[in-house]
Amino acid sequence: MRIRSLPHLALVTLALAGSSLGASCNGRKPQPQPPATRADASVAVREGAPTLRLYFLVDLDGYFEPCGCNDRPLGGIDRLARFIERERATAPRDLLVAAGDLIFRDPTMDPRMVYQETRKAESLVQILDRIGLAAFAPGPSDFARGSDEYARITREQRAVRLGANVSTEADAGAPGGDASTQIPAAFRPSMIHEVDGIKVGVVGVSDFRPSPDVAAPAGAPSTRDPVESARAAVEAVRREGARVVVVLASVPRRDAVSIARNVTGVDFVVVAREESNTPPPPERVGRAFVLSAPNQGKFVGVVDLFIRPGDPGFSDASPSSADALRASLDRRIRELRQRLEAWSRDPSVDQSAVTQQRARLAQLERERAAADAPPSAPERGSYFRARAVEVAPEMPRSHEIEQQIATYFRAINDHNREEYASIAPRPAPRGQATYVGDEECRSCHEPAFAIWERTPHARAYWTLEVLNKNFNLSCVGCHVTGYQQPGGSEVVQNQNLRNVQCESCHGPGSRHITASGAAQQRATIIRNPPEAFCAQQCHTPEHSDHFDYQRYLPRILGPGHGYPEDATDAGGVRLSAPVILNGQNSDAGTMGH
């Protein structure tokens, strides 16, 4: 019998031997990485305080706090401030930096949002100064109000604005642009932060050019090749004696990875624009490490640097990297076992090649057993431990910053109450239905109304009122009925349409309540609203992270919607059980400011 060789087996071997810890260098990360974990406290005690702790934020997006409608809302600049303050007891030498969109989320802005968002940006700049932001590389959305307004908002900001590749020349970002073009006075290519005689060089690069998914910000400076600009700035800080070099990269990931790979002297690259809810472990690229974290302040990156004499490079002793290594080994072992099982049933397979692969499996299993040991510091040389710390709702807040945020929301509520008081909803065209309010529904649909009164929808507006957000343009639309629809509601003029009422799902009801007969009544109302209506209007991933239409829908139904009184949902919750406790929405306790 002819023995079939396995020409592909060598390729399989190479693939199995290669590490899977890296990610694509083109665009955003296609797959979430294993979550970073907090370093073992006993390890920290044995090691003592780090030489320097680096905190970093990625794409804060102008967020004070998360939307409180999420199941477990992460983030909050007041919680972050308190965390850093408490951590200084064990890590007193620290440096806080940021990369990406800092004060605004989008590169363009609805004119109605200008006042509210500008006041928030001004408050956020003050808060970031207060918690010690030292340097940042801005993102394109920071120029949503134009360069002049950006300069005004940040004029008193103490944090250093970095932009080694930012230029005043309009054509500097074009191919062949002059790399020596002057950097605007508001930007610096780098800064030096000194800790106990050890100098840390921080370099910033940004990309304000338009891309397929990001519009060019109006009035932003031009930007040149980030790699070449970073090279020049890194060489400069090394000449100034920088022992550690961090690059803040508000650029596409491919450029950040290129800096890590091709610029000599870089230790860490903090990259923005990742848009992942799962914090990735450090990724080694050449001698540098690429770091990132989820956006909007959900996590803060923490890197403890232990600097020793000798080789200027760093070893990675991060628990998250160990977790990623174990996950990679588990995957490779599982795949190789599956292949070996298939080959064992194929008599035509070259058994000597199979024997080699069994030896490879044994080696992988030994590596996996060794990987169970907790990560330890190397005997010689400098090293770091990186983790992404969840800014969780259980964290205590900084009282002073909490009050500053609350003051902002009260001021915006007061302003918008007056500014929009005279703005009436658009009238509905002749013959088109208008919104009538829940009392009109109640008179004919008492059983359905009784169930609705027990749901969070019936107290949606109250959850904003208690937080001084009921006139906030970012919030009110999902907490009233028919917002900015013909014959519906507006920011202030919404008195009979507050809360998520019947017409939110069934559409405006004026023609329905005047219909003459069952057939016409059915024809003038939306009987089964599509799933997309909920998922696209209010229950978006950003605002309702665990929304499941099929699981949630039964909880707002009951008698009057075709369900018996004693019906339960998939989780065994009785549909008619109240979810409003003591006259209040039981979900409101998780709301933020």
> pLDDT tens digits, residue range 137-155?
999 999 999 888 999 999 9
**Considering just the CA atoms, what is the radius of gyration of the chain in Å?**
29
Residue 495: count of CB within 10 angstroms of its CB: 9
pLDDT tens digits for 166-193? 986 543 333 334 444 455 668 999 999 9
Phi/psi at 100 (nearest 5 deg)?
A: 95, -170
pLDDT tens digits for 495-510? 999 999 999 989 999 9
Does 322 or 219 have the greater pLDDT score?
Answer: 219
Does 331 or 85 have the greater pLDDT score?
Answer: 85
pLDDT tens digits for 95-113? 999 999 999 998 888 999 9
Instruction: Please report, rounded to a whole number, the percentage of residues in the chain having pLDDT higher than 90.
Output: 52
> Can you tell me the distance from the alpha carbon of 554 to that of 450, in angstroms, rounded to the nearest whole number?
15
**Architecture in CATH of 33-318+376-390:** 4-Layer Sandwich (3.60)
> Can you tell me the distance from the alpha carbon of 205 to that of 202, in angstroms, rounded to the nearest whole number?
10
Phi/psi at 248 (nearest 5 deg)?
A: -90, 115
CA atoms within 13 A on the CB side of 280: 26
What is the pairing mode between strands 222-223 and 299-306? unpaired
Taking residues 251-279, what's their average pLDDT?
A: 92
Q: How confident is the model at residue 569 (pLDDT cuts 50, 70, 90)?
A: low
- Going by the DSSP 8-state scheme, the letter that residue 439 receives in this structure is H
> Can you tell me the distance from the alpha carbon of 470 to that of 417, in angstroms, rounded to the nearest whole number?
9
Which tokens in the block code for residue 144? 């949503």
pLDDT tens digits for 380-418? 899 999 999 999 999 999 999 999 999 999 999 999 999
Ranges of each domain in the chain:
33-318+376-390, 328-366, 420-590
Taking residues 418-435, what's their average pLDDT?
A: 94
**CB contact set of 405 (below 8 Å; sequence gap of 6+):** 64, 65, 77, 78, 123, 127, 593
CATH classification code of 420-590: 1.10.1130.10
pLDDT tens digits for 447-476? 888 888 888 899 999 999 999 999 999 999
Which tokens in the block code for residue 402? 């909490």
Is residue 76 pLDDT above 90, yes or no?
yes
Which range of 53-62, 168-177, 439-448 scores highest in mean pLDDT? It is: 53-62
Is residue 1 pLDDT above 70, yes or no?
no
Instruction: Please report, rounded to a whole number, the percentage of residues in the chain having pLDDT higher than 70.
Output: 81
Range 424-431 contact pairs with CB under 8 angstroms and sequence separation of 24 or more: 424/490, 424/493, 425/482, 425/484, 425/485, 425/486, 425/487, 425/488, 425/489, 425/490, 425/493, 426/484, 426/485, 426/486, 426/487, 426/488, 427/486, 427/487, 428/486, 428/487, 428/508, 429/486
- The predicted pLDDT at position 9 comes to 34
Q: Which of 299, 305, 294, 326 is nearest to 385 (CA)?
A: 305
**CB contact set of 51 (below 8 Å; sequence gap of 6+):** 93, 195, 196, 198, 305, 306, 307
Q: Are 103 and 136 in contact (CB under 8 A)?
A: no
The H or E element that residue 386 is part of is strand 382-390
Q: How confident is the model at residue 73 (pLDDT cuts 50, 70, 90)?
A: confident
Length reported for the chain: 593
Asked if the domains 33-318+376-390 and 420-590 are classified in one and the same CATH topology, the answer is no
- The predicted pLDDT at position 131 comes to 95
Taking residues 428-435, what's their average pLDDT?
A: 92
The H or E element that residue 95 is part of is strand 94-100
The H or E element that residue 352 is part of is helix 351-370
| Cα 470–chain centre separation | 25
Average pLDDT of the chain?
A: 82
Q: Are 120 and 112 in contact (CB under 8 A)?
A: no
Which tokens in the block code for residue 541? 């991933």
